[in-house]
Amino acid sequence: MNVHVSAQSSANPSSGKVQTHLGALWRPALRQAFVKLDPRQLVRSPVMLVVELTALVTSVLCFVPAAQPGDGQVSTALGVQIALWLWFTVLFANFAEALAEGRGKARADSLKSAGQGLMARKRVGAQFHSVAAASLRTGDVVRVEAGELIPGDGEVIDGIAAVNEAAITGESAPVIRESGGDRSAVTGNTRLVSDWLLVRITANPGESTLDRMIALVEGARRQKTPNEVALDILLIGLTLIFLLVVATLQPFARFADGNLPLIYLAALLVTLIPTTIGGLLSAIGIAGMDRLVRLNVIAKSGRAVEAAGDVHTLLLDKTGTITFGNRRCSALLQAPGVAAAELARAALLASQGDDTPEGKSIVEYLASLQPLALPAPDGMRLIAFSAETRLSGVDVDGLAYRKGAVDAVLAYLGLGRDGMPAALASEVEKIAKSGGTPLLVAAGGRLLGAIHLKDVVKPGIRERFAELRAMGIRTVMVTGDNPLTAAAIAAEAGVDDVIAEATPQKKLARIRAEQAEGKLVAMCGDGANDAPALAQADVGLAMNDGTQAAREAANLVDLDSDPTKLIDVVQVGKELLVTRGALTTFSLANDVAKYFAILPALFAGIYPQLGALDLMQLHSPQSAILSAIVFNALIIVGLIPLALRGVRIRALDAGQLLRRNLLIYGLGGLLAPFAGIKLLDLLLVALGWV
């Protein structure tokens, strides 16, 4: 005997809109900027840790000038200004990271509130007992009834029910989940709105979709991606090189009977090391993951997102991705002697009892051509479509209107295949050979014509494929259709290649063949038969409503279960890589200008020959140092929006994209400091600060 125990939750998913605009985030981000001054936190960003230590040393030196020889050349006022701007540099970098994290934390807090106090009805033997949802483990079986929250990720083993997944996906329309098939997976913290389900839990606490989403949007907890690690190593190497460079300047100055204040050397170190990219690197990564979360895609690792940015080949299912999931009406074909208006009215009337997507598409198609008047509902006797009869229709004004499969309508009229007019029979055959589905329309015992149902290519998909092609990405359509039908749809959609009569073995073989040529491959899928290919692909996007096997094999999960999302994931991956590369280029190019700004000003009195390199003609060594420090801090502020938004990707191949970014961020990074430091020098002199 089962014991009925109600599952309860003390908190409902937040229905309020998550505030992610600057006005709501800047205050907590500013507080976090100061919190992140803790060296234990800054150790994740070695470059900024060096800046903080330099700021600390400078702060001490400006108040104890006698502690070091030569420091007496620097006034306390100038020393304080340099120290303050160094601290501001660290704070601005921390602020950028905190701002990026704040977007995610706002959503994470909303998600966390949904699972607090959630209880579950766990099966123990033949009975069900109430337990905390947090205590559930993989393999536990729970019963969920209408109005209750599903306590964790799982797979339906019994029952069929409608589930509201708005707490996770934002989409309020309920979706059907049932045992068996490819729609058996359920997500924790989503609500049953009808019937009941028996669910086997498939994720331990901390490993669910909700937990992964929270970890992803809380940028502070994310692991660095391989590219970030590699770039960190590069930045550390450059920092060490510039540290050695700056350390050798004082001996050179002493050799020529000169002297350089240590405050100047400390400031010079900060301006030469790649502080711009060092300060924004973490923010770029967090913002990239935030864009992915806003697409409602969960990444199991950052490696998958970066791989998406380098993908060469996309494998896309035809149905639901390239075409609409259901066949749609595309044309009406009259029998000889039948007017187009007569056929249209008969098709409209005969479709009134057809609630299938195909039947609705006929009504929509006719409405788009010309509005047609319908008789009063009480004067019509609807004949609903059924899989048994394969007919739908209506009886009105003494006439019987029918629409359905070719054989079904002919049998209804008492005709054989040879009973169709030759012209109409020819059109029906053409529809069938093209991969479409022909339907016949009859009224008053007469055959009026045919309806052409076909896989309709989604609007705008051809243009998106063209953009991908321009970026060097090939698209491959995967379909179970015969080669003739597949070729026709592929030509209409504009894909580069097609796999017809696809099987799991064919998909797997194609992925391996592409990878053998050194290419990265991405694909999406939802069924258990897609699991091997998803596991083999470099980027595997599983549908959240698909099987558990597919979700486990993939490294990305789309909560909206939209196969076209794979294209957007590739876009995000490319934006992430390009943004990181562009700002790294800009940061390194900055250093060239700083050499011309600071070194000639510092050494002009010691080595007059360096006066030839003094292109900026800055006012004094003091103004040169301070201008460079101020520019270094302000440029981080100026680039924060770009780091958070990402560099927009144009439909260009890799070579063209590289040349474009080198021109904008390479040349721009080279010229910007010349103009910026010179203007700041004039301003500081005018204000009397140096």
- 476: which DSSP letter? E
Count of residues in the chain = 690
Q: What percent of the chain has pLDDT over 70?
A: 90
The total of other beta-carbon atoms located within 10 Å of residue 432's CB is: 13
Token pair 């960003």: residue: 45
Query: How crowded is the C-beta side of 227, counted as CA atoms within 13 Å?
Result: 23
Residue 545, pLDDT > 80, answer no
Alpha-helix runs per DSSP H in 421-477: 422-433, 461-470
Nearest one of 580, 579, 617, 577 to 600, comparing CA atoms: 617
Token pair 């991908």: residue: 468
More confident residue, 625 or 111: 625
Q: Give the H/E segment covering residue 539.
A: strand 539-543
Q: Is 67 exposed, middle or buried (0-12, 13-18, 19+ CB in 10 A)?
A: exposed
Rounded CA gap, 402 and 450, in Å?
Answer: 12
Q: Which residues pair with 155 in a beta bridge?
A: 185, 200
Sequence letter at residue 584:
T
Please list the helix, strand and coil fractions of the chain in percent, rounded to the nearest 5, in that order.
55, 15, 30
Nearest one of 50, 588, 39 to 276, comparing CA atoms: 588
Contacts of 382 (CB under 8 A, 6+ apart): 352, 353, 393, 394
Residue 630, pLDDT > 90, answer yes
Q: Which of 310, 317, 560, 591 is catalytic?
A: 317
Q: What is the pLDDT of residue 236?
A: 93
Q: What is the pLDDT of residue 181?
A: 64
pLDDT digits (tens, 9 = 90+) for 546-598: 777 788 888 888 877 778 888 888 889 989 999 999 999 999 998 887 777 77
Torsional sign, CA 562, 563, 567, 570: positive
- Distance between first and last Cα of the chain: 87
Nearest one of 640, 642, 628 to 672, comparing CA atoms: 628
| Lowest mean pLDDT across 26-40, 102-116, 458-472 | 102-116
More confident residue, 562 or 263: 263
Q: Provide φ and ψ at 182, rounded to 5°.
A: -100, 10
Is 317 annotated as catalytic? yes
Structure-block tokens of residue 557: 């999960």
Structure-block tokens of residue 322: 């390239």
Inter-residue contact 95 to 30 (CB < 8 Å): yes
Q: What is the pTM of this model?
A: 0.73
Query: Quick one: pLDDT band at residue 12, thresholds 50, 70, 90?
Result: very low
Residue 9, pLDDT > 60, answer no
Residue 304, pLDDT > 80, answer yes
Q: What is the pLDDT of residue 297?
A: 85
Rounded CA gap, 534 and 504, in Å?
Answer: 10
Rounded CA gap, 638 and 96, in Å?
Answer: 11
Q: What is the pLDDT of residue 683?
A: 94
Output the DSSP codes for 232-291. HHHHHHHHHHHHHHHHHHHHHHHHTT----HHHHHHHHHHHS-HHHHHHHHHHHHHHHHH
The total of other beta-carbon atoms located within 10 Å of residue 582's CB is: 26
Q: What is the pLDDT of residue 249?
A: 87
- pLDDT (average), residues 517-541: 87
Residue 373, pLDDT > 80, answer no
Residue 92, pLDDT > 80, answer yes
- pLDDT (average), residues 379-384: 86
- pLDDT (average), residues 239-253: 89
